[in-house]
Structure 1
Amino acid sequence: MGEVDAYFICATPRTGSSLLCGLLAATGVAGRPEAYFREPDEASWADRWGLPAGAWSYGDFVRAALAEGRTGNGVFGAKLMWGTLDRVVAGLAAEHPELAGSDDALLRRAFGRTAFVHLRRDDVLAQAVSWLRAEQTAVWYVGDPGWTGREPRYDPDGIDALLRTIEAHQAAWAEWFDAYGITPHRVRYEDLAADPAGVTRGILDALGLALPPGVTIRPRHVRQADALNAAWIARHRSRT
Structure 2
Amino acid sequence: MTGVDSYFICAVPRTGSSLLCGLLASTGVAGRPEAYFRVPDEPVWARRWGLPAGEWRYGDYVRAALAAGRTGNGVFGAKLMWGTLDRVVEGLAGEHPEPAGADHALLRRAFGRTAFVHLRRDDALAQAVSWLRAEQTGRWTADDGGPPTAEPRYDPDGIDALLRTVAEHQAAWNAWFARYGITPHRVRYEDLATDPAGVTLGVLDALGLPSAGVPVRPRHARQADALNAEWIARHRDRA
**TM band (smaller chain):** over 0.9
Structure-1 residue corresponding to 2:238: 239
Q: Equivalents in 1 of 2:63, 2:134: separation in Å? A: 31
The residue type paired with residue 42 of structure 2 is: E
Task: Mark the CA change 1:146 to 1:84 in structure 2 (over 3 Å): closer, same or farther.
Answer: farther
Deviation for aligned residue 1:218: 1.1
Sequence identity percentage: 79
The residue type paired with residue 154 of structure 1 is: Y
Task: Mark the CA change 1:5 to 1:178 in structure 2 (over 3 Å): closer, same or farther.
Answer: same
The residue type paired with residue 20 of structure 2 is: L
Deviation for aligned residue 1:147: 4.0
- Say whether the 8 Å CA contact 1:100–1:106 is kept in structure 2: no
- Say whether the 8 Å CA contact 1:139–1:146 is kept in structure 2: no
Structure-2 residue corresponding to 1:125: 125
Structure-2 residue corresponding to 1:187: 187
Give the TM-score, by structure 1 length.
Answer: 0.97
Structure-1 residue corresponding to 2:65: 65
Q: Equivalents in 2 of 1:47, 1:173: separation in Å? A: 31
Could you tell me which runs of 5 or more consecutive residues in structure 1 were left unpaired when the two chains were aligned.
none
Structure-2 residue corresponding to 1:93: 93
Q: Equivalents in 1 of 2:20, 2:143: separation in Å? A: 17
How many residues are treated as equivalent by the alignment? 238
- Say whether the 8 Å CA contact 1:24–1:31 is kept in structure 2: yes
Task: Mark the CA change 1:113 to 1:146 in structure 2 (over 3 Å): closer, same or farther.
Answer: farther
Q: Secondary structure at the match of 1:77?
A: strand
- Say whether the 8 Å CA contact 1:8–1:80 is kept in structure 2: yes
Give the TM-score, by structure 2 length.
Answer: 0.97
The residue type paired with residue 37 of structure 2 is: F
- Say whether the 8 Å CA contact 1:9–1:79 is kept in structure 2: yes
Task: Mark the CA change 1:146 to 1:37 in structure 2 (over 3 Å): closer, same or farther.
Answer: farther
- RMSD value, Cα: 1.1
Structure-1 residue corresponding to 2:110: 110
| CA deviations over 1:39-90 (Å, ceiling 9, x no partner) | 1111111001000111100000000000000000000000000000000000
Deviation for aligned residue 1:23: 0.4
Q: Equivalents in 1 of 2:53, 2:226: separation in Å? A: 45
Deviation for aligned residue 1:216: 2.3
Q: Secondary structure at the match of 1:118?
A: strand
The residue type paired with residue 106 of structure 1 is: L
- Say whether the 8 Å CA contact 2:136–2:149 is kept in structure 1: no
Q: Equivalents in 2 of 1:225, 1:70: separation in Å? A: 31
Structure-2 residue corresponding to 1:221: 220
Q: Equivalents in 2 of 1:8, 1:52: separation in Å? A: 26
The residue type paired with residue 230 of structure 2 is: A
Deviation for aligned residue 1:143: 2.6
Q: Equivalents in 2 of 1:89, 1:143: separation in Å? A: 31
Q: Secondary structure at the match of 1:225?
A: coil
The residue type paired with residue 233 of structure 2 is: A
Deviation for aligned residue 1:146: 5.5
